Structure 1
Amino acid sequence: MEQGTLYLVPCHLGEDARDNTINPEVRIVCNKLDGFLAENPKSCRAFLKSINLEKPLQSFDYYDLNKRTSDIERSEYISLLKSGKNLGIISEAGCPGIADPGADMVRIAQQNNIKVVPLVGPSSILLALIATGIGGQQFTFHGYLPVDEKELKGKLDQCIAAAQQGVTQIVMETPYRNLKLFKALCNNLPNNFQLGVASNLTQKTEWIKTQKVSAWSKQPEPSIHKVPTIFVFGV
């Protein structure tokens, strides 16, 4: 029996995304799938509805894939793939597998010799990197930084040391804690560092700005409270 394929399906970065941010191939592939592994099945269905699939949404199987998904459930998903089912992983926003529960599923699929196919789509991390202009030759994405202030200070010290060696640093935060992280960056990064803030990427309200930390410190805080935002900094 031929095994199925695991597709990594990108979705919009927000509800107000500009037109044509999703590659037409995504719609073609989704029409051929048997089901989806989704961080949130409800938002998964909403995305599938937005791209106007030919197949009715109720014809697909939907499975939970989030931080609460057990190893037993992941093994069951692998069994489905081995039985010939073609499945897609859909994240809450953007491309699955980066700072996302889908990463573990992809690792297990690779360990079981399941074919994995990534589809082209929007990634807030890469879009922020190229749009802030701080440098893409060498970079590190740290995901979410520690919430504890002492641990955060220690992590930022490590990031600063790497940035001084020419490695651009990329971090993110839960949207309601954006301003707290922004203040921490302004208070801890050297004044001559470049700090880029990229919010609501691909949305009609997209906002991207890069300037020295010293300049940020003299201006009102950016309007990034509860707004999906990526922070990029370096020399």
Structure 2
Amino acid sequence: MTASTEMTTATTAAHPGTLYLVPAPLDFGCDTEAPLQDALPANTLQIASRLTHWVCENAKSTRAYLKRIDAIHPLAAPLQQQQITELPREVHKKGDHGGDKGSVSFDARPLLAAALGGHSMGLVSEAGMPAVADPGSSVVRAAHDLGIPVVPLVGPVSLLLALAASGLNGQNFAFVGYLPQDGQERGQRIKELEALALKTGQTQLFIETPYRNQALWQALLQALQPHTRLALASGLTLPSARIHSQLVRQWRQQPAPPDNRTPVVFALGR
């Protein structure tokens, strides 16, 4: 009997736990933290406090998040007794969908052994909703394949918050991840996304590692046409949040690049 067959048998032999997709606050890496109650509903925090088995990007940041939850709702088990498993580095660095360029095909079923044994588990990323602009889709697919219920909890999703606040088309949009780091390739990619947005009306959303924010911003102002609308949203859900959307020609007259510390969502369209 293969390992996969054994796992499938286990799901039919007992009632599995539930895989909860637990959103995290968007202040990871920011200079200040917002109160959890300001960004996450009480029910989300209560469910998270009852979980003792986790799959995550980074164990250290997950423990820090659980410590913040514990201050509001005492954890079901002490922090030292929480079972926290990290996704492999190649998965959370390159993506785990398997069909995308540079991503890997990862069998996450072994990570869900606790759920097969009846324990509910949490999937968490460093910020926002896991498996959306973050790794975790392989874990969700594995849960479905094993018959483990999947329940997404309510919390902030930076892409949707940025899109809603941009004034760009929210009926037709695409998230394209990170743009190339090479200057020439990045400029070409920006022009491709602009052409698609102007032709179809589809808003193009993308992100960058914070320390490259300003380099990307300058590339956008150089490559985009004057009448294209460009939006940036940084520090979402924080008191220091910055959300601006205007035409490129207006940005060029009043240059105001994002800082190189705060996560930013960029969007362009018409």
Interval containing the TM-score (normalised by the shorter chain): over 0.9
The answer as to 2:223 corresponding to 1:180 is no
The answer as to 2:40 corresponding to 1:40 is no
Give TM-score, length-normalised by structure 1: 0.92
* Match of residue 150, structure 2, among 110, 116, 126: 116
SS at match of 2:231: strand
Give CA-to-partner distance per residue, 1:27-80, whole Å, 9 cap, x none.
221233231112111111111121233223233211112534698883321322
* Match of residue 83, structure 2, among 51, 61, 73: 61
Aligned length, in residue pairs: 235
| Alignment partners' CA distance in 1, 2:262 and 2:66 | 23
| Conserved 8 A contact 1:66-1:102 | no
The answer as to 2:234 corresponding to 1:234 is no
* Match of residue 24, structure 2, among 11, 31, 45: 11
| Conserved 8 A contact 2:49-2:66 | no
Amino acid at match of 2:174: T
* Match of residue 85, structure 1, among 109, 119, 122: 119
| Conserved 8 A contact 2:229-2:246 | yes
Amino acid at match of 1:61: Q
CA RMSD after TM alignment: 2.0
Q: Which moved more, 1:75-84 or 1:36-45?
A: 75-84
| Alignment partners' CA distance in 2, 1:123 and 1:72 | 24
Amino acid at match of 2:159: I
| Alignment partners' CA distance in 2, 1:191 and 1:93 | 33
Amino acid at match of 1:27: L
Q: Which runs of 4+ in 1 moved over 4 A?
A: 69-73
Share of identical aligned residues, percent?
39
CA deviation after TM superposition for structure 1 residue 225, in Å: 1.6
5+ residue gaps, structure 2: 1-13, 92-103
| Alignment partners' CA distance in 2, 1:194 and 1:50 | 38
User: In structure 1, what is the equivalent of residue 175 of structure 2?
Assistant: 141
Give TM-score, length-normalised by structure 2: 0.81
CA deviation after TM superposition for structure 1 residue 114, in Å: 1.9
SS at match of 1:169: strand
* Match of residue 75, structure 1, among 98, 109, 124: 109
Q: Which moved more, 1:224-233 or 1:100-109?
A: 100-109
CA deviation after TM superposition for structure 1 residue 112, in Å: 2.5
Higher helix share: 2
Amino acid at match of 1:16: E
SS at match of 1:111: helix
Where in structure 2 are the equivalents of 1:193-204 lying within 5 Å?
Answer: 193-204=228-239
The answer as to 2:236 corresponding to 1:219 is no
| Alignment partners' CA distance in 2, 1:54 and 1:79 | 25
